[in-house]
Amino acid sequence: MKELNICETGASKNEWSSCGPINQGMIAGKVKDKSTKNGKALNAVPSPLARLYVVNDAFSMLTYDLLNRTNNCGEVYKFIVSDCLDAFEILYNLKYHEDKKEDVRVRVWNKQKGLQELKHVDSGHLATSLENYLSDNSFSELNEFVLIKYKNQILAGSSPFTFLFTTPNLDKYEDRSFMNQSYQENFDLINPNTKKKYFTGIRLFEDREPLFQKYVLDIVEKCTSDHIANFRNYIKYWAQRINLSTIDSVQTKSVVSEDNANVFINGVEIGKSIGLNSMNFFTDHLIKVRFRIDSDSFFCGTYLNDKEERNYDYLLPLRVEALNSIDYNTLKVEFQESAREVKVIITLPDNKQKSQTYRKQISTGDEEEKYTIIALEEYVANVNLGIFPFLQVVDNDDKATAENDY
Binding segment (CB under 8 A) for another protein, from list 3-11, 276-284, 327-335, 365-373: 3-11
Nearest approach, Cβ of 173 to another protein (angstroms)? 10
Q: Which residues contact 125 (CB under 8 A, 6 or more apart)?
A: none
Answer yes or no whether residue 2 interacts with another protein by CB under 8 A: yes
Nearest approach, Cβ of 226 to another protein (angstroms)? 12
Task: Name the residue among 140, 142, 170 with its Cα closest to residue 51.
Answer: 170
Q: Which residues contact 126 (CB under 8 A, 6 or more apart)?
A: 48, 118
Nearest approach, Cβ of 302 to another protein (angstroms)? 51
By beta-carbon proximity to another protein, the closer residue of 137 and 305 is 137
Determine the length of the chain: 406
Beta strands in 101-201 (DSSP E): 104-110, 144-150, 153-159, 163-166, 190-191, 196-197
CA distances from residue 34 to 5, 71, 204, 294, 342 in whole angstroms, order as listed: 16, 11, 21, 62, 46
Answer yes or no whether residue 19 interacts with another protein by CB under 8 A: yes
Cβ(384)–Cβ(396) below 8 Å: no
Residues in the interface with another protein (CB under 8 A) total: 81
Answer yes or no whether residue 176 interacts with another protein by CB under 8 A: no
Answer yes or no whether residue 76 interacts with another protein by CB under 8 A: yes
Q: State which of residues 90, 94, 156, 220 lies at the interface with another protein (CB under 8 A).
A: 156
CA distances from residue 223 to 80, 155, 217, 270, 395 in whole angstroms, order as listed: 22, 23, 10, 11, 59
Nearest approach, Cβ of 306 to another protein (angstroms)? 56
Nearest approach, Cβ of 43 to another protein (angstroms)? 5
How far is Cα 154 from Cα 276, in angstroms, rounded to an integer? 30
Q: State which of residues 64, 74, 203, 373 lies at the interface with another protein (CB under 8 A).
A: 74
Answer yes or no whether residue 175 interacts with another protein by CB under 8 A: no
Site map for another protein, 50-69, x if CB under 8 A? xx-xx--x--xx--------
Answer yes or no whether residue 356 interacts with another protein by CB under 8 A: no
What amino acid is encoded at 71 in this protein? N
Answer yes or no whether residue 48 interacts with another protein by CB under 8 A: yes
Site map for another protein, 106-145, x if CB under 8 A? -xxxx---x--xx--xxx-xx-xx--xx--xxx------x
Binding segment (CB under 8 A) for another protein, from list 16-24, 242-250, 288-296, 368-376: 16-24
Output the furthest CA–CA distance in the chain (Å, rounded). 103
